[in-house]
Amino acid sequence: MIRVLIVHETRLICDLKAAVLRSEPDIEVVGCVSTTDDALTTLRRHGCDITLVSVTLPDDGAFILTRAIAKLDRPTKILITGVTESKAVILRCVEEGVAGYVNTEECLTDLVQKIRCVSHGEFLVSPGIAAALITRISELKKLVTELNGFKDMNPNHLYAELTERECEVLGLIEQNYSNQEIANTLCIELGTVKNHVHNILDKLDVRTRKHAAIIARQALAAHGNHMGSAKPETLRMPQRSTSLPFSHELATVYQNVVKQPVSVKQFAGR
Q: CA-based angle 47:53:55, to the nearest 5?
A: 160
Burial class of residue 151 in the structure, from the number of CB atoms within 10 Å of its CB (0-12 exposed, 13-18 middle, 19+ buried):
exposed
Compute the average pLDDT of residues 93-101: 89
The topology (CATH level 3) of 131-268 is Arc Repressor Mutant, subunit A (1.10.10)
CATH 3.40.50.2300 in the chain, residue ranges: 2-123
Residue 161 pLDDT: 73
- 28-42 in b/e form (b: 16+ CB < 10 A) is ebbbbbbebeebbeb
CATH 1.10.10.10 in the chain, residue ranges: 131-268
Residue 242 pLDDT: 36
Compute the average pLDDT of residues 85-108: 88
Residue 24 pLDDT: 95
Measure the CA–CA gap between 23 and 43, rounded to whole angstroms.
22
Residue 214 pLDDT: 79
Burial class of residue 73 in the structure, from the number of CB atoms within 10 Å of its CB (0-12 exposed, 13-18 middle, 19+ buried):
exposed
This model's pTM is above 0.85: no
Residue 139 pLDDT: 83
List pLDDT tens digits, range 127-149: 888 888 888 888 877 776 666 55
Compute the average pLDDT of residues 61-80: 90
95 and 125 Cβ atoms separated by less than 8 Å: no
**Mean of all residue pLDDT scores within the chain:** 79
Measure the CA–CA gap between 48 and 28, rounded to whole angstroms.
9
pLDDT at 54 over 80: yes
List pLDDT tens digits, range 246-268: 445 545 544 555 554 443 333 33
What whole-number percentage of the chain has pLDDT above 90? Answer: 43
Measure the CA–CA gap between 96 and 66, rounded to whole angstroms.
7
Angle subtended by helix axes 209-223 and 127-148, to nearest 10: 150
DSSP state letter for 231: -
Compute the average pLDDT of residues 162-174: 87
Q: What is the CATH number of domain 2-123?
A: 3.40.50.2300
One DSSP character per residue, 158-196 reads HGGG--HHHHHHHHHHHTT--HHHHHHHHT--HHHHHHH
Residue 128 pLDDT: 83
129 and 85 Cβ atoms separated by less than 8 Å: yes
129 compared with 19, residue with greater pLDDT: 19
Compute the average pLDDT of residues 223-252: 42
Helix (H, G, I), strand (E, B) or coil at 228: coil
Compute the average pLDDT of residues 145-173: 70
